[in-house]
């Protein structure tokens, strides 16, 4: 009985199992034998082979590696970059005049590095109007982890033919006189960006002596037309302690040259006369905007500046040669330097700047402004204005040469040479 049950169970399992796979059919080509199973050999990684080839090529190049050296025209452009930026140059040109109105300027300087970034520069300049300047400057541009800059300067300058046309908005070009001044000075200016960008704080102090003397131009000297009673500061020798403080927002690439960004600041200047005769203060408000167009090929630039000077409360006076002024240089370019003077001044400027190449810009500009004895008279009525065109030779961060032609109602064409940006 047991044997019969075991036999039946074995038969049932055999019936449920899958049938064996059929053997491959023999062919005439293999002699009736089934073909042997094919075995795939292991393959070498293509990526590994390519990486090994790259590493071998790199290892072969190592003994022959050299720094890249510009050739042909690129070599001369690299030298021009160094010249415009002043980097790496011990002896360098220096085109800053002793005072605005000095005319074409020539000068040179000798730069010493006292640390990897801090420099000491000895320099001097001379103009065709016999203006002279000699000074030494220490600059530390990367203080507090590149947040701050300290500039300390000491020197002497003389301007021999400074124009003076009277005080007030109605002064006449026909009343031109001139004067000479000499000034030894020592100053320190500290600028910091607490958050690296935008917010800017600046403070400075300067001790100097202003000595006003008779001028050397062909026009009458000031003492021939005025007296100390009618012109405060005439013939004076004043020792000033000048302190200043600025708070502002600065989003420009660099004050020396930029194609985008804005600047907005308020500055208070305090001039303390050691003899308490000519102490005064100047409050200055300035706004600048640069709007790039066509990927910075064009730039629309605008500037507005307001200055207000007031005497100290103890009856001191403002010397005529320290009053806010407009004319020449970077203000009303179609007028003579220092053409308009008074206690309050307003300046408005607009420029269309066109990039010609990496070193050269073409600019069309318009200036307008006025001076007034009272702050409430500062408005947009009866503005003096001018317009013109110019070229600027620049590096990415500085404008070492600016040449402009300006026209106003007082002059057909005025030629301007400057070693700094207009604004």
- Using DSSP's 3-state secondary structure scheme, residue 229 falls into coil
Closest CA relative to residue 343, chosen from 319, 379, 369? 319
| All structural domains of the chain with their residue ranges | 74-418
In this prediction, residues 367-391 reach a mean pLDDT of 97
Compute how many other C-beta atoms are within 10 angstroms of the C-beta atom of residue 263: 19
The DSSP letter of residue 99 is S
Q: Would you identify the CATH topology of the domain 74-418?
A: Porin (2.40.160)
- Among the ranges given (36-50, 263-277, 354-368, 376-390), the one the predictor scored with the smallest mean pLDDT: 36-50
Query: Are the C-beta atoms of residues 136 and 153 closer than 8 Å to each other?
Result: yes
Bigger pLDDT: 386 vs 43 = 386
Has residue 4 got a pLDDT over 70?
no
| Spatial distance between the Cα atoms of 244 and 259, rounded to a whole number of angstroms | 28
User: Would you state the pLDDT for residue 58?
Assistant: 74
Confidence (pLDDT) at 44: 52
Distance between CA 192 and CA 199 in Å, rounded? 9
| pLDDT range class, residue 59, cuts 50, 70, 90 | confident
Provide the pLDDT for residue 118.
Answer: 97
User: Which segments of 274-297 are extended strands (E)?
Assistant: 280-293
Percent of the chain at pLDDT exceeding 90: 76
CA distance 120 to 139: 7
Which tops the pLDDT comparison, 330 or 46?
A: 330
**Residue 109 and residue 68: Cα distance in Å, rounded?**
30
Phi, psi of 193 (to 5 degrees): -110, 95
Are 374 and 359 contacting, i.e. CB atoms less than 8 angstroms apart?
Answer: no
Distance CA(250)–CA(179), nearest Å, equals 37
């Amino acid at each position: 009985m047991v044997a019969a049950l075991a036999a039946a169970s074995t038969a049932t399992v055999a019936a449920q199992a899958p049938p064996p796979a059929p053997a491959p059919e023999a062919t005439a080509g293999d002699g009736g034998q089934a073909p042997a199973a094919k075995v795939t050999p292991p393959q070498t990684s293509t990526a590994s082979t390519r990486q090994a080839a790259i590493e071998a090529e790199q290892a072969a190049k190592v003994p022959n590696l050299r720094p890249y050296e510009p050739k042909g025209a690129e070599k001369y452009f690299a030298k021009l970059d160094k010249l415009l930026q002043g980097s790496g140059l011990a002896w360098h040109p220096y085109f800053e005049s002793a005072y605005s109105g000095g005319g074409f300027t020539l000068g040179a300087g000798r730069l010493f590095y006292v640390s990897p970034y801090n420099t000491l520069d000895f320099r001097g300049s001379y103009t065709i109007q016999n203006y002279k300047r000699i000074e030494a400057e220490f600059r530390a541009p990367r203080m507090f982890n590149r947040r701050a800059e300290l500039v300390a300067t000491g020197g002497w300058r003389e301007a021999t033919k400074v124009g003076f046309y009277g005080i007030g908005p109605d002064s006449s070009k026909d009343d031109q006189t001139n004067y000479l001044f000499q000034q030894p000075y020592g100053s320190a200016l500290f600028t910091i960006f607490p958050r690296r960008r935008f917010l800017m704080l600046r403070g400075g102090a300067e001790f100097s002596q202003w000595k006003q003397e008779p001028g050397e131009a062909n026009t009458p000297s000031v003492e021939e037309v005025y007296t100390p009673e009618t012109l405060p500061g005439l013939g004076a020798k004043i020792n000033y302690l000048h302190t200043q403080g600025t708070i502002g927002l600065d989003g420009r690439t660099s004050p020396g040259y930029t194609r985008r960004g804005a600047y907005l600041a308020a500055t208070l200047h305090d001039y303390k006369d050691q003899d308490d005769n000519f102490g005064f203060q100047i409050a200055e408000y300035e706004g600048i905007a640069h709007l790039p167009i066509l990927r910075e090929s064009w730039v629309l630039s605008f500037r507005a500046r307001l200055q207000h000077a007031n005497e100290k409360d103890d009856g001191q006076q403002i010397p005529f040669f320290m009053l806010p002024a407009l004319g020449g240089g970077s203000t009303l370019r179609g007028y003579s330097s220092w053409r308009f003077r008074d206690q309050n001044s307003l300046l408005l400027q607009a420029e269309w700047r066109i990039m010609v190449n990496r070193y050269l810009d073409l600019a069309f500009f318009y200036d307008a402004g006025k001076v007034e004895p009272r702050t409430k008279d500062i408005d947009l009525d009866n503005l003096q204005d001018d317009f013109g065109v110019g070229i600027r030779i620049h590096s990415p961060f500085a404008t070492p040469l600016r040449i402009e032609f300006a026209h106003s109602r007082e002059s057909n064409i005025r030629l301007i040479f400057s070693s700094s940006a207009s604004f």
